[in-house]
Amino acid sequence: MTPTPSQPDSFFGLGLAPKLLEAVESLRLKAPTPIQAQAIPIAIQGQDVMGIAQTGTGKTFAFGLPMIQRLAQVKGRGLIILPTRELALQVDESLQRVGKKLSLRTAVLIGGMDMKRQIRALSQKPHIIIGTPGRINDHVQQRTVSLADVKILVLDEADRMLDMGFAPQINRIVAALPKERQTMLFSATMPQEITSMASKYMHLPVRVEIARQGTTADQVTQELFVVQKPQKLGLLQSLLTEYKGSVLVFSRTKFGAKKIARAIRTMGHNAAEIHSNRSLSQRKEALEGFKSGKYRVLVATDIAARGIHVSGIELVLNFDLPEHADDYVHRIGRTGRAGREGHAISFATPDQGRLVRDIERLVRVHLPVSKVPAGLPHVEMPREEGFDRGGRGSSGRRPFNRGGSSRGRFERRNDRPSYGARPAPAARTSYKDDLREDDHQERQRSGYAPRRPSGGSKSYNPRGKRFGTKRDDGTAPRKRRVIF
């Protein structure tokens, strides 16, 4: 069942309370988006909703506004589950903008944040709990939060949470919730796995589908370059010179994102990076710097494909094609938001024809292939900082290790002759033949037991304790302990 009412030109006819309408007007939001116009009236009535819409079309307010109004009626809590920390912070920021005048209290439960700070936020009885599945489960297991009074559950970007392996955590969270509740799912894609999950968690949901699965924004133009891997950095430098606005670059791996960001900085551009190896404070600083203009280029992995809500991004560049075609829709959805125009460029190597066909089949658009310009500058990928296979740092000096040696852990000892070329050691008749006279005097000065010149061979202890000697007939005497 997909309702298709006429598109309203204001939020006035959607059933929102007067205070919420004032909050929306203070944000200078005049007309609702299609997903907001269709989902808000259904959600206010308390029905379960499955929403499918393009990324960047205002899904946060589509479930956030009715949730705030419903919580004033049912006297309970709301729970919003999201796949990434950045997306949780973005949703909290959006809800705070609306509920600031309504004294709305929220608690964000995400990894990388101090647990004591989160427990303090929970002790203030927040109206809405926003978090990622892993950290929410941590609080449930430690009994620092109770989900028995949750009346509204929202699963945002549920397909991404399944891709990231959060299905067991989500099942445990839902098991701790009351059965009588309202459940809403919102995403740009809705595969069969999400539909089966919705059948378990939801009761007669209303499916609100603004655009078919995989639809991209009309304002976003797309372009494809078929380029060899060594030429990618040179083409990137050429494109950064051509486009003057803010640029979001996507890498497949976190190590690649780090190297790409370092290479862009060597080109003379301010660049930051967001990936799973960065702490929460580093991610927030990079995102805020990208919004404010401190960083012109932001390099990210797919962890940020659904957690970056920045208006005015001129170019989204897929330095590496995503592993899944669905991620392509979310990546290029970072540009062309709120009705603005945007451009998306993707780099594909000659052996990635299958990935390109999967993307074209999903978005139902033939990606135009552009010719790689001749005479690209040669830019090498910078080496990783710190240790390399030779055990040397980027400065060329041998790093310090705990053993006191200046050699790296994996460095080959080519400065020493092989064991076969070393001279054979001289034959030794006994251990005392290796001791020199000066060593014998040093042992006497330091208090160690001196060496006896006669009386048979002694058993030697490097700490200087003699436990006994062997008799001439070969029998061992009773051990005698020397106490210093």
Task: Please calculate the CA angle 222-227-228 and round it to the nearest 5 degrees.
Answer: 155
Please tell me the total number of residues recorded for the chain in this structure: 484
More confident residue, 470 or 253: 253
DSSP 304: G
- Tell me what percent of the residues of the chain surpass a pLDDT of 70: 72
Highest mean pLDDT among 23-32, 47-56, 58-67, 276-285: 58-67
> Where are the domains positioned within the chain?
12-209, 220-370, 387-415, 431-472
Topology alike, domains 12-209 and 220-370: yes
CATH of region 12-209: 3.40.50.300
pLDDT bracket for residue 459 (50, 70, 90): very low
319: DSSP letter: S
Query: How many whole angstroms from its chain centre is CA 457?
Result: 66
pLDDT at 473: 57
Question: Is the domain covering 220-370 a CATH 3.30.420.40 domain?
Answer: no
What's the CA gap between 173 and 168, in Å, rounded? 9
pLDDT in tens, 337-353: 655 778 999 999 999 99
Return the pLDDT at 381.
76
Tokens of 264: 């862009």
Residue 106 pLDDT > 90:
yes
Give the per-residue pLDDT at 216.
Answer: 61
Sheet hosting strand 247-250, strand order edge to edge: 271-274, 297-300, 247-250, 315-318, 342-348, 220-226, 369-370
The distance between the two most distant Cα atoms of the chain, rounded to a whole number of Å, is: 112
Q: How far apart are CA 237 and CA 100, in angstroms?
A: 43
Q: Kindly give the pairing relationship between strand 220-226 and strand 206-209.
A: unpaired
Average pLDDT over residues 220-229: 92
Burial 125-134 (b: 16+ CB within 10 A, else e): ebbbbbbbbe
Q: How confident is the model at residue 212 (pLDDT cuts 50, 70, 90)?
A: low
How do residues 305-330 score in pLDDT, each as one tens digit?
665 677 788 899 999 999 888 788 88
Helix (H, G, I), strand (E, B) or coil at 332: helix
3-state secondary structure of 166: coil
What are the pLDDT digits (tens) for 407-458? 444 444 444 444 444 444 444 433 333 333 334 444 444 454 544 444 444 4
Q: Does residue 10 have a pLDDT over 50?
A: yes
Residue 376 CB neighbour total at 10 angstroms: 17
Q: Which pLDDT band holds residue 194 (cuts at 50, 70, 90)?
A: confident
In tens, the pLDDT along 136-192 reads 999 999 999 999 999 999 998 887 788 778 889 999 999 999 999 999 998 777 677
Alpha carbon distances (Å) from 412 to 332, 390, 407, 415 = 47, 8, 9, 9
Residue 111 vs residue 309, higher pLDDT: 111
In the chain, the amino acid numbered 70 is: R
Q: Is the pLDDT of residue 239 over 60?
A: yes
**Over 70: is that where the pLDDT of 16 sits?**
yes
Q: Which residue has the tokens 């009715």?
A: 66
pLDDT for the residue 432: 39
The tokens of 165 are what?
Answer: 């392996």
pLDDT at 193: 79
| Ramachandran class of 388: left when φ > 0, alpha when ψ lies in -120 to 50, beta otherwise | beta
